Chains A and B, each alone.
Chain A
């Protein structure tokens, strides 16, 4: 192990890893800060540029984008009351009032420090949890794995939106699309419709860029003319109010800790996402505060709680990827896709077979937390200005990058037009509230799911009674039913509450 660790340190501190990590965090921060753009879009767009890189460099770059995006989204939330990403909606509640009070610099510093601490804390938890969980996962067979996949998909579908059926249908569509290509057992073409280009399956980037990036742009542009953000961030009223003091830092520390704990917990569970984690973190801190009445009017603890929860959910969501090989969110599904593009299957075997790479990624993740602090602090003024650039300039360029991303994977226009088709599908999914998370997770997990279902069917000879010999599989199936029932009930109650609130406002 020490030998692997020393090799991992050597490779993680090499110049390519460090440069790409810095570039990733910077791009992520920039994308996170720009309203309307998000880290998932950035990862999908930049995935093709990582194909030629070594796995460690590529994954460090993509993880850097993920971490930078989570932190950068606070900038526009605090300065112009427009969240860079949905997960920063909560940050606007106290961040923007602080800006209006002339404490923009302080709010940005709180957001940054909370993000860095939350991220670092969660990365340490990830490192500590991965090995023991992977050891347990190594003991599971195809029947248990199939049941675990059923649990994951059901849980994500139930948690991801207003309708369980829409969530599960999206996931099934993802799984069905993954069957296109050659049959794993016989090598015969399946659902290729005579296209040679489809024999290797539908390209991941066409699916990811189409549904996540181009569809998002379609959804943003269907309102017609766009503009730039008119509101200028107010400058600080005095130097004293623009900096975070040590006493203030000590005061917000418990909020950061609580937010981080919530972020890790929510991140580990599949499908819940960073938005929910920042809401829960904020609510916990507000409920336990001695001055809850200050929340919503510029409480620094509010910014600290939501930002630490948002960032802690990023490494938290990587725990199931490294330990079991199951992604629970869009960005982790794309990261898993990046692993697969490099011929690596994440999961318990990866830690056993290529521990140097896993330790290298862990070290790069720790470095990314520090890079985040430097990029956020040094670039504060730059990011404050860049968010005022209008989407009339940014969105056309992103469309061009979508084209490039799809083209570069296969070197043919077939992928580009396939991506366009997925963009139309993604637009309609967005408009009719179908879950992207279950769709992409289903697509990425498709080959693994098929393999484990086939093995399970052969091992059990197609007899469901064989399940009785596998208590863990039964446990996962019971959990799937129970969690789906609880989450559907919870969603229904939340909808009824929203409806009642809307009526009372009228």
Chain B
């Protein structure tokens, strides 16, 4: 956990500095205004991010005892599972965007159920179709709006 926090504080520091010296100057209008410039508040927060990231970095180096008993709830195997799951969900959303909810959503639900270890086709088909049809009808006829 200490290594993760050390790395985390460096990332925060980098983020805060890039906000201050690159992103805010490029993506927020500058100039003098009657009150406070649009830069004022994002810069204030970014400065605070830099300050607290530095403090966290110092704390990681100077107080290693603080990390006793803390373990990281992540390993490469779990991270791989997460990437697989994330890819499945992303592809599912793209399918919904291209082919519509009635085709994309059942495929998404079935893929996730399969990925999680469900092997009963009856359950997969029921899980993938019934909620989608119900939700589609609810959105269309009760809420009066539409899904892709």
Contact = CB atoms under 8 A, between A and B. Distances in A.
Contact of A192 (B27, B86, B118): B27
Interface string A445-469: 0000010011001100000000000
A189 interface: yes
Contacts of A404: 135, 139, 147
B69 A392 contact: no
Interface residues of A, number: 68
B61 interface: no
A190 B116 contact: no
Interface in A387-438: 390-393, 395-397, 399-401, 403-404, 407-408, 411, 413, 416-417, 420, 423-424, 427, 430-433
Given A176-B45, A399-B89, A413-B148, A165 B38 contact: no
Looking at chain A's contact residues, the main secondary structure is helix
A188 B19 CA distance: 18
Contact of A403 (B96, B113, B145): B96
A175 B52 CA distance: 14
B85 A172 contact: no
A432 B72 contact: yes
A169 B49 CA distance: 6
Contacts of A471: none
Nearest to B37: A186
Contact of B113 (A191, A396, A408): A396
Given A173-B49, A400-B135, A496-B68, A225 B29 contact: no
B108 A400 contact: yes
Interface residues of B, number: 71
A52 interface: yes
B82 A218 contact: yes
A293 interface: no
Nearest to A411: B145
A230 interface: no
Contacts of B128: 396
Nearest to B135: A404
B62 interface: no
A499 B69 contact: yes
A190 B25 CA distance: 10
A191 B148 contact: no
B108 A432 contact: no
A172 B48 contact: yes
B56 interface: yes
B59 A165 contact: yes
A61 B33 CA distance: 44
B137 interface: no
A285 interface: no
Nearest to B75: A222
Given A169-B49, A193-B27, A222-B79, A457 B70 contact: no
A393 B132 CA distance: 13
A226 B49 contact: no
A166 interface: yes
Contact of B127 (A185, A214, A397, A499): A397
A172 B40 contact: no
A21 B88 CA distance: 36
A224 interface: yes
Listed residue (A186, A403, A432, A454) with the most chain B CB atoms within 10 angstroms of its CB: A403
A337 to B, nearest CB: 19
A372 interface: no
A54 interface: no
Contact of B35 (A52, A176, A185, A495): A185
B30 to A, nearest CB: 10
Given A162-B70, A168-B52, A169-B49, A457 B36 contact: yes
Interface string B85-97: 1100110110011
29 contacts: A165-B53, A165-B59, A175-B45, A176-B45, A179-B42, A185-B33, A185-B38, A186-B38, A191-B27, A192-B27, A193-B27, A218-B82, A226-B116, A392-B118, A393-B113, A395-B116, A396-B116, A397-B127, A404-B135, A404-B147, A413-B148, A424-B86, A432-B5, A433-B70, A457-B36, A458-B36, A495-B68, A498-B69, A499-B68
Given A454-B40, A496-B69, 14 more contacts: A49-B143, A163-B5, A165-B53, A186-B29, A188-B28, A191-B28, A222-B78, A392-B113, A393-B113, A393-B127, A407-B147, A408-B147, A420-B90, A423-B86
List the 5 closest pairs (A to B, CB-CB), nearest first: A225-B117, A499-B69, A165-B56, A396-B112, A183-B38
